[in-house]
Structure 1
Amino acid sequence: MTRPPTAAQRRVIDAADPVTGRLKGTETQLAALVKRGLAFRHPRPPHDHFLTPAGHRIREAPPETAAASAGPSLDPPPSAGVFTARIGGDEEPDTGPGRVREVHSAWQGLLELRRMTNQDGATDRPCGWERAHLVQAAALALEAAGHRPQGRDARGYRVRATPQPEAVAVHAPDVGQLRACAATLEGAGWQVGEHTEPRTRDRYLLASPRRT
């Protein structure tokens, strides 16, 4: 289990801007939060520091449960951590209130990352992190919009990598669900096309992050 933040670090996290997650603190405090995956340093001047989704989870959690929320996040530097977008598979998806809050926090953090790393500050199209993590990014957009990842009952979406550059495949058990996923991804800034698998005749989506 990841160690909880120190009392001083917790004060810095709790004092973050409630909307943007912008942090104020000493260079040592901020560097320590970055090292733990709870904050990141904006790449452009004035190089402010902001909470990652994991940092937001720490702020939202009571102190006694903060340790369970700590860990790396979707924001750079990307690494394995507590939060993982559900891509659909054999596991039974978690749909409890804790998961809903976690997904919401991750999605808000990703929108903030778009705002800060897209050159024009746009939040309506994917950023560089999403292009480098296509499957996770598409799955997060779907889960954040309320779509259910596939479990053992074979219902819900599945997101898979493809040989095509900057494209993922999205599968769903029926055309209605598939088109609902397409609408969600288009609204999240992805280009989406519907295709038919030649051998099985199953319908699926090819989705790519929109650049403009």
Structure 2
Amino acid sequence: MTRPPTAAQRRVIDAADPVTGRLRGTQAQLAALVVRGLAFRHPRPPHDFFLTPAGHRIREAAPEPPGAAEAAPKAAGAGGVFAARVGGEEEPAAGPSRAREVHSAWQGLLELRRMTNPDGAADRPCGWERTHLVRAAALALEAAGHRAAGPDGDGYRVRATPQPDAVGVRGPDDETLRACAATLKGAGWQVGEHTDSRTRDRYLLASPRRV
């Protein structure tokens, strides 16, 4: 069994950028993570280090410290870890700061595509998005200016589905669904419109395009 990272290595992993996986640490720490298959050095200048999929899994499997669950909503609204709005959660403070966070996260995701897709393509989803379907689809929608549903408001809602490679997107009307479909297609997703057999509501089923 592979030995777990040391405490110092774990701190470097936990401090990685939540979207791109960009790492900061001493050269010795970063090199050790590369040897263990938890990081890679980008071949182009400035040759920064980034988490591999294995490194991301270790980072996301970290047990939360006591009180983290209670503090999470406050952190997300007060400069904590960025999270795209999936719809239905408490709406974060709007304004220029939120717009900058969303823009920065989207640009970071495009860079991650360029770095990790075999052909360097930024027009289709990368491996990180395929393992974070809801967050990735929500980021594409929020970055394009779509409004997520508040606790009692209208807007899009992105949810996991029984299909392991697809998310469901719902909205208050057909116009919203069509706009969301166009955005996701432009972001490299395959999108189809469907009708719920029980409620007869229309919804989107979206999955990352592979080619």
Give CA-to-partner distance per residue, 1:97-152, whole Å, 9 cap, x none. Answer: 11110010000000000000000000000000000000000000000000011003
Structure 1: where are the runs of 5+ without partners? 1-21, 35-39, 53-74
**Structure 1 residue identity aligned to 2:125:** P
Asked whether the 8 Å contact 1:169–1:205 carries over to 2, the reply is yes
Partners of 1:91 and 1:24 lie apart in 2 by 32
- Number of the residue aligned with 1:4: none
How many residue pairs get aligned? The number is: 163
Superposed displacement of residue 159, structure 1:
0.3
TM-score by length of 1: 0.67
Asked whether the 8 Å contact 1:93–1:149 carries over to 2, the reply is no
- Number of the residue aligned with 2:97: 98
How is 1:27-42 mapped onto 2 (pairs within 5 angstroms)?
27=27, 31=30, 42=40
**Structure 1 residue identity aligned to 2:93:** D
- Number of the residue aligned with 2:156: 157
Over the aligned positions, Cα root-mean-square deviation in angstroms equals 3.2
Identical amino acids, percent of aligned pairs? 70
TM-score by length of 2: 0.67
Asked whether the 8 Å contact 1:149–1:156 carries over to 2, the reply is yes
**Structure 1 residue identity aligned to 2:210:** R
Going from structure 1 to structure 2, the CA distance change for 1:172 and 1:207 (only over 3 Å counts) comes to same
**Structure 2 residue identity aligned to 1:197:** D
Superposed displacement of residue 153, structure 1:
3.3
Going from structure 1 to structure 2, the CA distance change for 1:109 and 1:50 (only over 3 Å counts) comes to farther
Going from structure 1 to structure 2, the CA distance change for 1:208 and 1:24 (only over 3 Å counts) comes to closer
Question: What secondary structure, in the 3-state scheme, does the structure 2 residue paired with 1:186 have?
Answer: helix
Partners of 1:136 and 1:142 lie apart in 2 by 10
Superposed displacement of residue 154, structure 1:
2.5
